[in-house]
Amino acid sequence: MLRLGSTSPDTREMDLDDIFLARLKLLLIMAKAYLKGWPMGEHRSQAMLENARHVESESIDLGRLMNAINHDGATPEPNEYDYLFYQRVKLLAIMVKAVAKGYPMGEQRKAAMQENLDMICQTLILSRGEADMAFLKVA
Amino acid sequence: MRLNILIVDDDQLVRDFAVNTVAFHTNRPVITLESGFDGWQYLQQQGRDIDMVIADATIPDMDGLELLALVKRNDPRKIFILTSSNADHERTAVHLNADAFLAKPYDVQDLLRVIQELVRQAESRPGSSPTSRAQQSKPRTAPTPS
């Protein structure tokens, strides 16, 4: 029997932060898949739209989330770093929604999407270390 | 990948996340239900169309472990992934012949990896994989006269 997911001591119900982080990773995978030219079908587009909407609406307290990523229990002070990351995540969600709705995506828009995606991934990698880079290879 | 998946979980947030992940990966509609009893009824009525079941251990009416036991008794080849926030359920899942155990909290890559691995294993068994069943349903062409 295959066994995946959290290890025994850390097994628990999924909370809002778990869901949001997982959906953020899914959003990154969706964006990467589109930029790599994966065929977009009806169900794929619908999944992209729903996921992007959720991420966009839930991107409200990323300062606390970044501390959860860094396993730091301290309450953060608002800073420019958090604000920029928050804006980039929202922007990516908007970009993915546009793709899912079939809006025309020219080369400039794709380049902007790729740049935004790279910045978000870079921030996550620097925050969590190399151990979590594997999820970026799923797409 | 022509894979028909049924997801049974009463936690809407987890269920919706799993649906978006699976639907994006397979580009197929995903059937979702909230209780084990509804899941079992659906499988009895339209189970032939379902290749894989992803069910949480703690769901109302009939829990995931009971559903797992019934599904495997009825069709041992049907792929069953049990998810749970209780590590103790893993031992029971092994005993009931679950194909995979996904411990919560799980991530995108966990869900995708377990689906990909189980499909790969199923396709390596001739005649029992979802894609080979799809190929078997194709109409045969008449032999050309010599």
Residues 6+ apart with CB under 8 A from B85: A11, A12, A13, A14, B57, B58, B103, B104, B105
* Predicted interface score ipTM higher than 0.90: no
Tell whether the model's pLDDT for residue B49 goes beyond 50.
yes
Q: Is B62 a member of any domain? A: yes
The residue with greater pLDDT, B81 or B1, is B81
Q: Is B141 a member of any domain? A: no
Judged on CB neighbours under 10 Å (0-12, 13-18, 19+), B56 is buried
Domain range for residue B89? 5-136
Residue A66 confidence (pLDDT): 61
Dihedral class, residue B97 (left if φ above 0, else alpha if ψ from -120 to 50, else beta): left
Tell me the pLDDT band of A84, cut-offs 50, 70 and 90: confident
Q: Does A3 touch chain B (CB under 8 A)?
A: yes
Tell whether the model's pLDDT for residue B99 goes beyond 60.
yes
Residues of A in contact with B21 (CB under 8 A): 26, 47
* Beta-carbon count within 10 A of B54 CB: 26
Q: Does A48 touch chain B (CB under 8 A)?
A: yes
Residue A74 confidence (pLDDT): 53
Number of domains in chain B: 1
Tell if the CB–CB gap between B28 and A47 is shorter than 8 Å: no
The residue with greater pLDDT, A83 or B26, is B26
Domain boundaries, chain A: 15-130
Q: Does A11 touch chain B (CB under 8 A)?
A: yes
Q: Is B58 a member of any domain? A: yes
Residue A123 confidence (pLDDT): 84
Q: Smallest Cβ distance to A22: which of B17, B19, B23? A: B17
Q: Is B146 a member of any domain? A: no
Rounded to the nearest 10 degrees, the angle between the axes of helix B12-26 and helix A42-58 is 140
